[in-house]
Amino acid sequence: MNHLKLLLGFAALFLSSCPQSSIARDSPFTRHGTGPRYWIAYEECFVTNVPLSEERWKANIDWMEKTFKPYGYDMICNDGWIEAAQTVNENGYITKYNSDWKNGFSYWTKYLQERGMKMGVYYNPMWLTRAAYEQNLPVKGTSYHTRDIVGYKSFNDPLYWVDVDKPGAKEWIQNYVRYFKEMGVAYLRIDFLENYETNYGTRRYEQALAWIAEAAGDDLFLSLVMPHCYNHAKTELKYGDMIRIDDDCFDGDWDFVSNRRRGQQKDHWPQFGNAFDGFIGFADVGARGQMILDGDFMRMNKLANDNERRFLFSLMIMGGSALAIADQYDTIGDHAWVYQNPEMNELNSLGFAAKPLSYDFRDAANSSRWIGQLPNGDWVVGLFNRESTPQTRSIDFRRELGIEDGQAVNVRDLWERKDLGGMSGTYTVELRPHECKVIRIQHKTLKIEAETASVRDGAKSIK
């Protein structure tokens, strides 16, 4: 009975901190609770500041199929540097990631499908290319043309914003979403949302998202990137499946993971400078049935050591994030193992998202301790050391997990992939700088094993 009361109190604590006035988008993706596992074409573009070549795109797809598809990484997505996508169809919609590419989205979607993989597309359906504007193409399903729906403020010279207050804008945006869906695209990464809301206001921003969500339905995963997240993501919760909760990956080093603007929050994008603070700040809305949190991309080749690599991957797992590999076939080095841990990836498959024991940035020890429960009742605990000095971290089984005093539980280290044996009371570990531990507490295991042994011994005695 005490165990039940503790669990109910734990749940009430989390629910009380959620924005009760917000209604979250209900989709298969939010009901699942965690983001996809995939490869993103970010690193090469960021390093060179030019669009990805088609040859490198294919090389990375083939590498992902061989190296990571067996571990559930079954999607490939282009990324920004999209301004050179000026090849459009009769409706004004882009057909390729880049006009210099030989093949378009439809070719690559089929290429991936033939390999049992999915296509993700980085694009914003509120954009309208310069090519579509200059050709003044008809807006599908209306009597309007592309020049009729552009707004007073452009995103940049090659890309215009569509003004949702203009007739024909709804059809443009929704048909763009349907265009990608009909092509077989599974994931739409919609970027620079802060720019639209800043220039056109929250009312028009929300209207655009509502149209996108309506057109996406249950078939297209909506990733909302660079949102202001005003009022604790009240608008984004209604219309997206996943939101970015921290600044860009950029160099992908420890600064991105934990240090950049640590302990500071802004009231607009990017509210948080590093991934760890972002997960703390939005953890109360990051849960199954609410919103998936996106910590941005991982570049394992840029971290200083294996402790930092395990730390970053564990943080993404505990936060319920998408697991987005930005390393490439020729940059990852010997670090593929980080993404290939089956016991960690299983948590993502189960829709697992944990919570910190404190949402207070000033409480470094407790905001670095994360806990969550799996559908079968097992607890998963993540203990993190963000500091530059060794730190002791512990979890009290009774007080923090509701496991009764004296009840033995099996503790399993998910990185070592081995059982630590039966324990009761408290688990304590000394963590080196930038080190973490992720343990799975199987409080039913020992009881089941004891009962099995009892039956087996009884059978022997009968013989």
CB 177 within 8 A of CB 141: no
- Domains of the chain (ranges plus CATH)? 3-9+359-448 (2.60.40.1180), 21-351 (3.20.20.70)
Percent of the chain with pLDDT over 70: 91
Average confidence (pLDDT) over 36-57: 98
pLDDT of residue 166: 98
User: What is this structure's pTM?
Assistant: 0.92
Average confidence (pLDDT) over 55-83: 98
Is 90 exceeded by the pLDDT of residue 422? Answer: yes
**Catalytic choice (74, 163, 241, 246):** 241
C-alpha 203 chain-centroid distance: 26
Is position 241 annotated as part of the catalytic site? yes
Residue 223 and residue 39: Cα distance in Å, rounded?
14
Angle of the 54-67 helix axis to the 105-113 helix axis, nearest 10: 20
3-state helix, strand, coil in the chain (%, to 5): 40, 20, 40
Residue 72 and residue 117: Cα distance in Å, rounded?
10
Position 126: which residue type?
M
pLDDT of residue 57: 98
Helix (H) or strand (E) holding 421: strand 418-423
Average confidence (pLDDT) over 98-121: 98
**Confidence class of residue 1 from pLDDT cuts 50, 70 and 90?**
very low
pLDDT of residue 101: 98
pLDDT of residue 443: 67
Residue 463 and residue 57: Cα distance in Å, rounded?
66
Highest-pLDDT range among 309-323, 391-405, 436-450: 309-323
**Confidence class of residue 22 from pLDDT cuts 50, 70 and 90?**
low
In terms of pLDDT, which residue wins out, 98 or 8? 98
Residue 261 and residue 222: Cα distance in Å, rounded?
28
CB 38 within 8 A of CB 325: yes
CB 183 within 8 A of CB 106: yes
pLDDT of residue 407: 82
Residue 265 and residue 250: Cα distance in Å, rounded?
19
**Confidence class of residue 10 from pLDDT cuts 50, 70 and 90?**
very low
Helix (H) or strand (E) holding 393: strand 391-396
pLDDT of residue 361: 85
Is 60 exceeded by the pLDDT of residue 79? Answer: yes
- Secondary structure E strands in 68-203: 75-77, 118-122, 127-129, 150-154, 159-162, 185-190
Q: What's the whole-number average pLDDT of the chain? A: 92
pLDDT digits (tens, 9 = 90+) for 429-457: 999 999 999 999 986 544 434 333 333 34
Average confidence (pLDDT) over 156-179: 98
- For residue 183, give the DSSP letter: T
Is 70 exceeded by the pLDDT of residue 8? Answer: no
pLDDT of residue 405: 82
CB 77 within 8 A of CB 38: yes
Average confidence (pLDDT) over 91-115: 98
Average confidence (pLDDT) over 307-313: 99
CB 188 within 8 A of CB 109: no
pLDDT digits (tens, 9 = 90+) for 263-300: 999 999 999 999 999 999 999 999 999 999 999 999 99
In the numeric block, the tokens 């215009």 are attached to 160
Position 434: which residue type?
H
Residue 68 and residue 25: Cα distance in Å, rounded?
30
The count of other CB atoms within 10 Å of the CB of residue 329 is 16
Is 80 exceeded by the pLDDT of residue 235? Answer: yes
Angle of the 193-216 helix axis to the 230-239 helix axis, nearest 10: 30
pLDDT digits (tens, 9 = 90+) for 403-419: 988 788 999 999 999 99
- Secondary structure E strands in 248-384: 292-294, 323-325, 355-356, 369-373, 379-384
**Catalytic choice (74, 79, 163, 191):** 191
Is 70 exceeded by the pLDDT of residue 122? Answer: yes
List 224's β-bridge partners, or say none.
190, 243
pLDDT digits (tens, 9 = 90+) for 135-152: 999 999 999 999 999 999
CB 293 within 8 A of CB 278: yes
How many H-runs (helices) and E-runs (strands) does the chain carry?
17, 19
